[in-house]
């Protein structure tokens, strides 16, 4: 996780490489595979070394390793004490975990236990560290209240999450950078910066303009546009003014936009006339009109270009802001609200029907920011980038996790799958880079990040597949990848990594701070905590920031009905299948319904896919599907394959099928691939989840692709 610049990216010749590896092995003596690997990552494996060498040395180091989760990164004690959590533990470790406290690395697990058993002390400390202010202090952190699953958080508290983003944190001032940004196509131009005070003034201007619309306080106001500076300003202004953001992804077609507007009962919407990509204008406002949206405020994507063809009640961005008395535009008195007041309505993917409308409150941003503080170690003066959109939870998460922690947010207005984005990461000196797994896979296959210096990165997340994870670490000079898994309905993660624990490839090292999780057995009962096992994951309902209601569904039915009790509390359903390993790591195995029964053995699709993805270098990705035969009978295993080069497919599918079966015998000798189907791409939800049910339905009815 060190932040020093990397050595020059100089490819190594075979002889030079051999000598460097020998020196690394000699330097470690008999300290074992983990020590040798650590030395190799520090002295040999620079980003300029071909990935095949990284991969060869990793698998070579850990060949025969007694665990399936060898440490790809190990924390350094001297750097551990400089992390957010390490600094607090060095100062207050004995106060929190008792006389057994030793150091931040050794005592991290005890500190996690403390965060669950002592929410009053833990969360008070976190809020103090982040500089959270309340206009009315809570009477306590948590109290029993049957109306709230797991208890009522911050009873009596009054605050405004957006206002907390606009004040200088201790050690920072109003002139510090809040946002660094660049537009696609301007990759050789200087970066653009927005200072905290400038951001505050922009937000206040928009909040004043919102008041001029004469909407009732608490009105739902939608945002459907790319995540740029204007979008962030609008988001914060809506919350500051006591309204509720309706998050809509800018990729949605009119029917999806319309559905979300109707569910939320939105009174207005902010959008752009177009989205610019590769200097092409992709219509956006016209989709909003087709969706029969309410009053729209439309921003011209090309600066001051007049917008033609607005509906009668719609406003241009200039006319909207022009309604404000500019002598008072720079200031705005935040609308302070109770902790459970709504701030944002987000939506689940909605791939099986109407999406769940999930309200965020003023509590949810505290959870998002706390995860950033603890797990990603976001510090003041850090630069945080995560290619996303306000239509998905990671958009608001990025706003809160960066600004509430006094860090700068890095926004690239363009595609992340480009050399332009890679250069932006370099130029902005990004220290925490977040991404979804498909982006890492794209970077690795296209080479668009080659040659750019990402040495300032201290952590990133998430990669999910072992090879993608290894490649991403190598690009960032072997800084750790912090895997992070959660959900819109909890405002953050329930399982993650930590800079105070060894990190294994494609695995989580700890439940999130303040979170207690359980793995259910085949009878739906919790396995003993800290035991090895695989099953559906459930959460302790005592969870800061988690949803307590849904706008269009029965919250109790969705998350609690039929769930087992633990310690006199009904556990909260999440729906993912997880494994806890003997070494205490967690592995995700997809949705609990993404499982198959092969010859009477229940197995996760992801578990099979991890193996198949590594069988042949020509394979980009796979999907494992259990397909029932047309005449009935046990499910048969079908592997859908996407090749890297689809223009010149030369792979022998019979040979590929044989290779799959040989590889799967290591998982279970009874597993057998019945067929291999070539597809151009895997169907995915807008949030990037593979829709295996779509493939299952297609393969069951009538295969349309190359198949053996």
Kindly state the average pLDDT of the residues 49-74. Answer: 91
- Mean of the pLDDT values across residues 493-517? 95
d(CA 103, CA 106): 5
Residue 349's pLDDT is what? 64
Look at residue 4 and tell me if it is in a domain.
no
Q: Is the dihedral of CA 379, 385, 388, 389 positive or negative?
A: positive
Is the pLDDT at 632 greater than 50, yes or no?
yes
Tens of pLDDT, residue by residue over 452-498, are: 999 888 655 554 678 888 999 999 999 999 999 888 999 999 999 99
Shared-domain flag, residues 479 and 599: no
Q: What CATH number does the domain containing 411 carry?
A: 3.40.50.12780
Find out whether 554 and 514 touch, Cβ atoms under 8 Å. no
Evaluate whether 488 touches 348 at the Cβ level (below 8 Å).
yes
Tally of domains in the chain: 3
Confidence check: pLDDT of 352 > 60:
no
pLDDT of residue 247 exceeding 70, the answer is: yes
Pairing assessment for the beta strands 220-224 and 383-385 based on DSSP bridges: unpaired
Q: Which domain holds residue 649?
A: 594-700
Domain match, 560 and 640 both: no
Looking at per-residue confidence, does 225 or 693 come out higher?
225
Residue 562 placed within a domain: yes
Q: Looking at the structure, tell me whether residues 411 and 282 fall in a common domain.
A: yes
Asked if 291 and 381 sit in the same domain, the reply is yes
- 589-618 tens-digit pLDDT: 766 767 777 766 667 788 789 889 989 988
State both tokens at 492: 């953050």
Compute the residue count for the chain: 708
Instruction: Return the axis-axis angle of helices 364-374 and 119-130, rounded to nearest 10°.
Output: 80
Domain co-membership, 497 together with 610: no
Residue 44 and residue 166 share a domain = no
Question: Given 48, 63, 78, which residue is the final one in a domain?
Answer: 63
Cβ 293 vs Cβ 273: under 8 Å = no
Note whether 353 and 488 are same-domain residues.
yes
Residue 581 lies in a domain: no
**Predicted confidence (pLDDT) per residue in 648-659, tens digit:** 666 789 999 999
543, 576, 609: which is the final residue of a domain?
Answer: 576
Average pLDDT over residues 143-149: 92
Main-chain dihedrals φ then ψ at residue 681, nearest 5 degrees: -165, 165
Average the pLDDT over each of 38-42, 58-62, 264-268, 631-635 and give the range with the smallest value: 631-635
The pTM (predicted TM-score) of the whole model is 0.86
Domain assignment present for 134: no
Contacts of 274 (CB under 8 A, 6+ apart): 281, 282, 283, 284, 285, 301
**Out of 38-47, 124-133, 560-569, 604-613, which region has the weakest mean confidence (pLDDT)?**
604-613
Provide the pLDDT for residue 607. 78
On whether both 382 and 247 belong to a single domain, the answer is yes
Do 258 and 372 belong to one domain?
Answer: yes
622 and 551, same domain (yes or no): no
Is 129 a member of any domain? no
Q: Is residue 371 part of a domain?
A: yes
How far is the C-alpha of 343 from the C-alpha of 244, rounded, in Å? 5
| 6 lies in some domain | no
Domain boundary among the residues 44, 63, 82 is at 63
Q: Is residue 429 part of a domain?
A: yes
Asked if 86 and 104 touch (Cβ cutoff 8 Å), the reply is: yes
Measured CA to CA, the distance from residue 55 to residue 505 in angstroms comes to 12
Query: Which residue in 74, 72, 40, 71 sits closest to 57, CA to CA?
Result: 40
- What mean pLDDT is predicted for residues 187-212? 97
Percent share of the chain, pLDDT over 90: 67
Same-domain status, 627 and 560: no
pLDDT at 403: 97
Q: How far apart are CA 370 and CA 500, in angstroms?
A: 16
- Lowest average pLDDT, out of 96-100, 123-127, 310-314, 611-615, goes to 611-615
Average pLDDT over residues 276-296: 93
465 and 504 in a single domain? The answer is yes
| C-alpha distances out from residue 151 to 132, 139, 396, Å | 21, 14, 25
Least confident range from 97-106, 209-218, 409-418, 574-583: namely 574-583
What is the secondary structure of 114-166 as a DSSP string? HHHH-HHHHHHHHHHHHT---SB--S-SEE--TTSTT-EESTT-EE-HHHHHT
The CATH number of the domain holding residue 689 is 3.30.300.30
**The pLDDT of residue 202:** 97
């Amino acid at each position: 996780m060190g932040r020093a610049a990397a050595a020059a990216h100089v490819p190594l010749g075979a002889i030079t490489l051999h000598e460097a590896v020998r020196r690394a092995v000699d330097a470690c003596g008999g300290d074992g595979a983990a020590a040798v690997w650590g030395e190799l990552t520090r002295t040999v494996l620079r980003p300029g070394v071909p990935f095949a060498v990284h991969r060869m040395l990793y698998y070579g180091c850990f060949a025969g390793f007694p665990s399936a989760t060898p440490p790809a990164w190990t924390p350094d004690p001297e750097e551990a004490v400089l992390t957010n959590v390490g600094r607090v533990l060095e100062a207050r470790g004995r106060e929190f975990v008792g006389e057994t406290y030793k150091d931040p690395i050794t005592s991290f697990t005890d500190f996690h236990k403390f965060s669950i058993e002592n929410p009053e002390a833990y969360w008070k400390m976190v809020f103090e560290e982040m500089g959270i202010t309340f206009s009315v202090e809570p009477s306590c952190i948590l109290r029993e209240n049957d109306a709230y699953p797991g208890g009522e958080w911050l009873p009596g508290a009054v605050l405004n999450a957006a206002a907390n983003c606009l004040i200088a944190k201790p050690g920072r001032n109003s002139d510090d950078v809040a946002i660094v940004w660049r537009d696609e196509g301007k990759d050789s131009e200087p970066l653009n910066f927005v200072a905290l005070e400038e951001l505050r003034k922009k937000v206040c201007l928009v909040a004043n303009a919102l008041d001029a619309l004469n909407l009732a306080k608490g009105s739902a106001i939608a945002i459907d546009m790319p995540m740029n500076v204007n979008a962030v300003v609008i988001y914060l202004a809506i919350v500051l003014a006591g309204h509720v953001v309706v998050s809509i992804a800018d990729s949605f077609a009119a029917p999806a936009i319309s559905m979300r507007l109707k569910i939320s009962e939105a009174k207005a919407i902010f959008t752009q006339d177009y989205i610019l990509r590769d200097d092409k204008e992709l219509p956006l406002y016209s989709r909003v009109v087709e969706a029969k949206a309410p009053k729209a405020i439309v921003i011209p994507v090309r600066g001051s270009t007049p917008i033609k063809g607005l509906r009668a009640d719609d406003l241009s961005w200039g006319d909207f802001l022009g309604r404000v008395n500019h002598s008072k535009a720079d200031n705005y008195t935040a609308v302070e609200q109770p902790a459970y007041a709504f701030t944002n309505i987000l939506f689940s993917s909605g791939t099986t029907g109407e999406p769940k409308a999930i309200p965020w409150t003023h509590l949810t941003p505290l959870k998002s920011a706390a995860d950033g503080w603890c797990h990603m170690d976001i510090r003041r003066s850090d630069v945080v980038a995560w290619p996303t959109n306000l239509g998905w939870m990671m958009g608001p998460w990025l706003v809160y996790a960066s600004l509430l922690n006094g860090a700068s947010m890095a926004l690239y207005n363009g595609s992340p799958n480009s050399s332009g984005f890679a250069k932006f990461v370099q130029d902005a000196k990004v220290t925490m880079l977040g991404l979804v797994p498909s982006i890492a896979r794209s970077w690795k296959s296209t080479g668009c990040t080659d040659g750019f210096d990402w040495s300032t990165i201290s952590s990133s997340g998430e990669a999910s597949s072992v090879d993608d994870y290894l490649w991403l670490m190598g690009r960032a000079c072997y800084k750790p990848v912090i895997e992070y898994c959660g959900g819109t309905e909890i405002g953050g993660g329930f399982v993650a990594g930590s800079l105070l624990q060894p990190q294994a490839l494609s695995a989580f090292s700890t439940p999130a701070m303040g979170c207690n999780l359980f793995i259910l057995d085949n009878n739906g009962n919790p396995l003993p905590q800290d035991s090895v096992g695989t099953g559906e994951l459930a959460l302790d309902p005592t969870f800061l920031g988690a949803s307590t209601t849904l706008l269009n569904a029965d919250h109790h039915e969705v998350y609690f009905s039929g769930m087992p009790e633990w310690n006199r509390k009904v556990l909260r359903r999440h729906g993912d299948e997880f494994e806890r390993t003997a070494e205490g790591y967690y592995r995700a195995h997809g949705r609990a319904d993404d499982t198959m029964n092969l010859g009477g053995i229940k197995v996760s699709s992801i578990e099979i896919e991890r193996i198949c993805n590594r069988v042949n270098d020509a394979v980009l990705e796979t999907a494992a599907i259990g397909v029932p035969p047309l005449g009935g009978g046990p499910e048969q295993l079908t592997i859908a394959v996407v090749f890297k080069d689809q223009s010149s497919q030369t792979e022998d599918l019979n040979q590929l099928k044989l290779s799959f079966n040989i590889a799967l015998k290591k998982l279970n000798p009874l597993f057998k691939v019945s067929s291999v189907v070539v597809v151009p791409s895997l169907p995915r939800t807008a949030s990037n989840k593979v829709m295996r049910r779509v493939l299952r339905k297609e393969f069951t009815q009538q295969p349309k692709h190359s198949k053996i």
